[in-house]
Amino acid sequence: MLAVRPADFYHCRMDILSAPLIDPFARAIDYLRVSVTDRCDFRCVYCMSENMTFLPKADLLTLEELDRLCSTFVGMGVKKLRITGGEPLVRKGILTFFQAMSRHLASGALQELTLTTNGSQLRKYAADLAAVGVKRINVSLDTLDAAKFAQITRWGRLDQVLDGIQAAKDAGLRVKINAVALKGFNEDELFTLTDWCADQGHDLTFIEVMPMGDLGNEDRLDQYWSLKDLRSTIAARHRLTDLTVRTGGPARYVRVEETGQKIGFITPLTHNFCESCNRVRLTCTGELYMCLGQEDMADLRAPLRASPDDAALQAAIRAAIARKPKGHDFDYSRQTVAGKVTRHMSHTGG
């Protein structure tokens, strides 16, 4: 019989604990999106209802708990961390969290620390974010028309966001604008948006509206503007070259030959991008969603709070990754909406 020495057992256990996260479809999971709050200073119509009920603050993970969770993921091979929400920059003390996460950049364990924001607080935070090692940020902006901006965000002010974007640029942050393509809303601004981004040196990505949240009688079908149509409209004016570059994410990119500008398309509905999905999403209460478009999730708060030792937490993370589904079921074909999920985007983090 083979004798197993305690040292062998220890090394074997350490190997298992530090083995990369691979899901059942052989996708390496190295990207974590973390929603640090469900709250927001805007109420975008496709994201939140006007009278949102937010989680009691006591239900939220503390910043220390978020640190421990994220650090555990980094220890298990996560290389990219995107902080989102709700609006991440309205969470009290958020800069301390970014500062804490920057130690993983310094150690080389983490390759990128970034965030998705509505831009309203960037004037206050841009320089500090750049100082802790954030290099690129995504800012959501669907229109450059102040009245339409107020209509779509309900509570937002365009000038404040544009000023925030300028502050980010001044701080040396690279800005990517994310615009949700909305039929009858920003169709007429397609070239205003693309030209503005080209002038300002911002990358631009369009996103198809997804059937998420409390849809009531709406199903977003009336808002749905296929990016295939949007792309054809751009192609009628510009020469577009498909780029093979993939960021591991859902966006496909083209280069506008006349300006060199790069435009991305996130098309969960016309083009399923699940086969290359490398990400999972953590909510501010410690739920891990393995797919944005499915209801299954794993509770990581219980193992996190059960013991100061990370073994149970790591085991729960591995068990969750082993359940990552092949893909989502969003489908607008045949003029009905299939695969809806009732969660708001602000809960899972977009």
Q: Does the footprint of ligand SAM cover residue 74 (CB under 6 A)? A: no
Alpha-carbon span 173 to 166, nearest angstrom: 10
Q: In what order do the strands lie in the sheet with 80-84?
A: 240-243, 252-256, 262-266, 203-208, 174-181, 136-140, 112-117, 80-84, 31-35, 279-282, 287-289, 297-299
* Residue with Cβ nearer ligand SF4 (53 or 107): 53
> Residue 43 binds which one of ligand SF4, ligand SAM, none, with CB within 5 to 8 A depending on kind?
ligand SF4
Neighbouring-strand partners of residue 163: none
Q: Does the footprint of ligand SAM cover residue 293 (CB under 6 A)? A: no
Q: Does the footprint of ligand SAM cover residue 37 (CB under 6 A)? A: no
8 Å CB contact between 250 and 269: no
**Stretch of residues binding ligand SF4 (CB under 6 A), selected from 40-48, 104-112, 188-196, 333-341:** 40-48
* Residue with Cβ nearer ligand SF4 (40 or 304): 40
Q: Does the footprint of ligand SF4 cover residue 152 (CB under 6 A)? A: no
Q: Does the footprint of ligand SAM cover residue 267 (CB under 6 A)? A: no
Q: Does the footprint of ligand SF4 cover residue 212 (CB under 6 A)? A: no
Residue nearest to ligand SAM (CB): 350
Alpha-carbon span 237 to 11, nearest angstrom: 60
Interface pick for ligand SF4 out of 29, 40, 177, 321 (rule CB under 6 A): 40
Interface pick for ligand SF4 out of 31, 42, 225, 332 (rule CB under 6 A): 42
Q: Minimum distance from CB of 161 to ligand SAM (Å)?
A: 10
Name the token pair of 12.
């074997």
Of 179-238, which residues contact ligand SAM (CB under 6 A)?
180, 207, 209-210, 212
- Tokens 């040292």 map to which residue? 7
Q: Does the footprint of ligand SF4 cover residue 43 (CB under 6 A)? A: yes
* Residue with Cβ nearer ligand SF4 (86 or 303): 86
Q: Which amino acid does the sequence have at 261?
A: Q
Buried/exposed code over 295-331 (b: 16+ C-beta within 10 A; e: otherwise): eebbebbebbeeeeebeebbebbeebbeebbebbebe
Q: Which amino acid does the sequence have at 82?
A: R
For 208, phi then psi, to 5°, come to: -75, 140
Q: Count residues near ligand SAM (CB under 6 A).
A: 19
Show the 3-state SS of 320-337: HHCCCCCCCCCECHHHCC
> Residue 48 binds which one of ligand SAM, ligand SF4, none, with CB within 5 to 8 A depending on kind?
ligand SF4
Binding region for ligand SF4 (CB under 6 A)? 40, 42-44, 47-48, 85-87, 118, 140, 345-346
